[in-house]
Structure 1
Amino acid sequence: MTSFQYTTTKPGETVEQLLREQWQGGKKTVHQMRMDKSVTDTNGQPIEWKEPLPQGTPLTFSFSDAHSSYKPEAFDSLRIVWEDEHLLAVHKPAGMAVHPEQAPGTGTLMNEVMGYIESQGGSYAEHIHRLDQHTAGILLIAKHPIAKTMLDRMLEQNKIDRFYTAEVEGQLRKPRGTINMPIGKDRYHATRRRVSPSGQAATTHFRVIERRANSTVVEAQLETGRTHQIRVHFAHLGHPVIGDQLYGSETIARGPYKLTATKIAFQHPITLEQIMIETE
C-alpha cells in the first residue's frame, strides 16, 4: 500500500479542492481515489470530498492500485541524498542506466530504488527526469502518483532547476553565457543528437567555475531537458565534454566522461518548502 499523510492548512478546505484545484492530481488517479474512498481521517474513516474541514485536520491519502513495474533488487549500494514521504532523491553512479529498456529488465537504478521502496512498505516509485547512462548525479523520484503528476507538470513549466558540473575541452572565452540552440536527432547515427534548425528548442545556461591548462570546468543549468543536451551544446561550440567520444572528445578520460548532476532546486509541491538538494 502506498500512502502519505497531510494536514490541512486552510480553514474550510475540502479534499476535492486539494486534489482537483490545489494539487491538480491526474484525473484517472483522483477518480479512482474517490471511488475507493481512499482519503481517511486518523481513525481510518473515509472523508466526504466536499466537506469543509477545520484547519489542521490530519488526513491520510492512500493508493491501493499504485504499483510500479520495476523488479525490486538488492539496494546495498543505493545512495539516498534526500527523502520525505512524497519524494526521494538518489545519487546515480556513472555507468548505470536509470531504468530498464524493457520490462522486466534488471541491473538499473530503478530496480534498486524499488527494492528500497518495498523494504519500507511501499509499492510505487517513478523517476521524474532522466540522466544519461554515463552521467552521474542526482535523480529525483516520486513516491506516489500525486507527487508524480505535480512534479511532471513542474518540469514542463521549468520550475525545477537542475545544475550540472562538466569539464569541457579547451578554454571557453566567456565567463558565463547562454546556449540557445535547437536539438534534433542525427540522421546518420541512431543514438547521437545534433544542433538542428528543425529540432526542439533547447537552452543551457553556464558559468565558468575553474580554468585548467587544457580544459574548463563549468556549471551548467538546464532550462529545457533534451536528450544529451549539455553534451550536444558544448560539442557544437567546439568544447566537447572530456571523455565524451560520441560527441568528438579527443581526450581519453579515466572512467566515464566528465559530467555530473550536482544540484536540484524547487518548491516542494505539497509542503511548499524551498528544497535544495546537492551532491558532490
Structure 2
Amino acid sequence: MNKRKNTGYNRMPHAASRYTIYNVTEPMELMDFLMKKMAGISRTRVKALLTNRVVLVDNNIQTQYNFPLLRGMKVQISKEKHKHEFRHPMLKILYEDAYIIVVEKKEGLLSVASEHQKERTAQHILTEYVKRQNRNNRVFVVHRLDRETSGVMMFAKDEKTQHNLRDNWHDIVFDRRYVALVMGDMEKDQGTVESWLTDRKLYVSSSPYDDGGKYSVTHYRTIKRANGFSMIELQLETGRKNQIRVHMQSLGHPVVGDMRYGCETDPLRRLALHAFKLCFYHPITGETMNFELPYPMPFRSLMQR
C-alpha cells in the first residue's frame, strides 16, 4: 500500500459509498480545506460544488464557502447530486448550513400550519427535504410570513438554534424590510406608525393607545407614486401578526389586494407585500448574513406610468 504524506487531512476509505469522505484534523475554512484535498481544483469549481449542494459537513448540506471547520468534523462530497437537489414551485433555498435554512417563499404558501389549517406548509416541505439527508432531521420555525406575503424567511435546523434566534431576535436581526404597493398617493415621503395591536382571530385591531394589545412600530419610506398607487419600503421595529397590513389601513392606504384590511381592488390577484431583505448575524458563527431579493416584477409593472 502506498503511503501518502500526512497533510493533516486524511481521506477515510469508504468502499462503494455515495460520498467521498474526509476527516478534519485541524481547524480550517471549508474553501481552503477542499482546495487542499482536491488538488488542482479552482475556487470557482469549489463554489459550484457548494452551489450545487453536494458538499456536506457532518451530514448537513453546507453552502457557505468560509464555513469554519473544526477538528473531528467530517466533510462529504456527494457523488449523486440529484439526491440533494431541492425543487419546489413555492419555495427556493437561498442558503443552507448545519444550523439554518434561508428560503424565498412564494405568495399563497403558509409558513406553518395552525390549529385550523392542516395543509402543506413551508415547514412541512422543508422537513421532508432535510429528512432525505437523515430521517431524524427537522426544521424549526423562527418567524413567519402571512400566506399571501412573499419573500425571505429563515428556519432553524435544531431546537437550540431556534431558541437562540427567537430569544435574541432583535440583537441578531439588524435589518428586515418589505416592499408594498398601497392604494392612493402617500401624503408623506417617510414616517412611522405606532399603535397597539390585538389579535381578534379573524383580524387584528389597532389602537392608538395602550388597550392591552402589543406595542407595534413600522417605519416607511415612499419610493414612487403613480397610477393611483404608491410603492413604499417598510422596516419593522416589531414583528406582530399582520402588522404592516393593519398599519397601512390605519393611514388610509391599505395594501393593494388586501380585502381583509380595507382594499377594494385586486389588480395583481395577490397581496402586494414582499419581504425583500433580511440581514442578521449568524446565530452560531456570528458572521454577517445579507439576503436581498428584487422587487416583484408585477409590482414594478403596476407602477409604470
TM over 0.5: yes
SS of residue matched to 1:181: strand
What is the alpha-carbon distance in structure 2 between the residues aligned to residue 275 and residue 258 of structure 1? 26
Distance (whole Å) between structure 1 residues aligned to residue 70 and residue 113 of structure 2: 41
How far apart are the structure 1 equivalents of 2:263 and 2:214?
Answer: 24
The within-5 A match list for 1:52-71 is: 58=71
Q: 1:138, 1:263 within 8 Å by CA — same for their partners in 2?
A: yes
**1:82 Cα deviation (Å)?**
1.8
Q: Displacement, 1:85? A: 1.8
Once residues 162 and 102 of structure 1 are traced to their aligned partners in structure 2, the CA distance between those partners, rounded to angstroms, is 28
Find 2:253's aligned residue among 239, 249, 259. Answer: 239
2:43 matched residue in structure 1? none
For residues 83 and 212 of structure 1, what CA distance do their matches in structure 2 show?
Answer: 39
> Within 2, Cα distance between the matches of 1:104 and 1:195?
25
How is 1:224-263 mapped onto 2 (pairs within 5 angstroms)?
224-263=238-277
**Structure 1 stretches of 5 or more lacking a match?**
10-41, 43-55, 61-73
Alignment-mate amino acid for residue 128 of structure 2: G
- Structure-2 separation of matches of 1:158 and 1:175: 29
Output the CA distance in 2 between the equivalents of 1:120 and 1:104: 28
2:79 corresponds to 1:85: no
Tell me by how many angstroms 1:148 deviates.
0.8
Alignment of 1:192-211 (within 5 A): 192-196=203-207, 197=209, 198=211, 199-211=213-225
Q: Secondary structure at the match of 1:149?
A: helix
Unaligned runs of 5+ in 2: 1-23, 29-57, 59-68, 74-85, 295-305
Runs of 4+ in 1 over 6 A off after TM superposition: none
Q: Which moved more, 1:123-132 or 1:77-86?
A: 77-86
Alignment of 1:1-280 (within 5 A): 58=71, 76-77=88-89, 78-102=91-115, 105-121=118-134, 123-155=137-169, 157=171, 159-186=173-200, 190-196=201-207, 197=209, 198=211, 199-280=213-294
In 2 relative to 1, CA 268–172 (structure 1 residues): closer, same or farther, beyond 3 Å?
same
CA offset digits 1:19-54 (Å, max 9, x no partner): xxxxxxxxxxxxxxxxxxxxxxx9xxxxxxxxxxxx
The Cα of 1:8 is off from its aligned counterpart by: 8.0
Deviations 1:115-143 (A, max 9, x none): 11112326120121011111111111001
Question: In structure 1, what is the Cα distance between the partners aligned to 2:214 and 2:118?
Answer: 30
SS in 2 for 1:112: helix
Identity of aligned residues (%): 32
Counterpart of 1:24 in structure 2 is none
1:92 positional shift:
1.4
User: Relative to structure 1, is the Cα distance of residues 270 and 205 closer, same or farther in structure 2, using a 3 angstrom cutoff?
Assistant: same
For 1:154 and 1:160, the matched residues in 2 are separated by 11
> C-alpha displacement at 1:107, in angstroms?
1.8
CA change 1:157–1:267 in 2 (3 A) is closer
Cα gap change, 1:200 to 1:124, in 2 (>3 Å): same
Secondary structure of the structure 2 residue equivalent to 1:234 = helix
Deviation at residue 86 of structure 1 after TM alignment = 1.2
Question: CA separation in 1, counterparts of 2:99 and 2:280?
Answer: 14
Worse overlay, 234-243 or 85-94: 85-94
Q: What residue number does 1:70 align with?
A: none
Indicate the SS of the match to 2:198: strand
SS in 2 for 1:147: helix
Return the index of the structure with the highest Cα Rg: 2
1:177 shift after superposition: 1.5
Structure 2 CA distance, aligned partners of 1:172 and 1:59? 57
Q: What is the one-letter code of the residue matched to 1:195?
A: S
Displacement of 1:89 in angstroms is 0.9
What is the alpha-carbon root mean square deviation over aligned residues? 2.7
Mapped partners of 2:156, 2:168: distance in 1: 13
User: In 2 relative to 1, CA 102–75 (structure 1 residues): closer, same or farther, beyond 3 Å?
Assistant: farther
Residue 158 of structure 1 deviates from its aligned partner by: 7.1
Per-residue displacement from partner, 1:117-174 (whole Å, max 9, x unpaired)? Answer: 1123261201210111111111110012221111112225573432111101111122
- Alpha-carbon spacing, 1:103–1:84, altered in 2? closer, same or farther (3 Å): farther
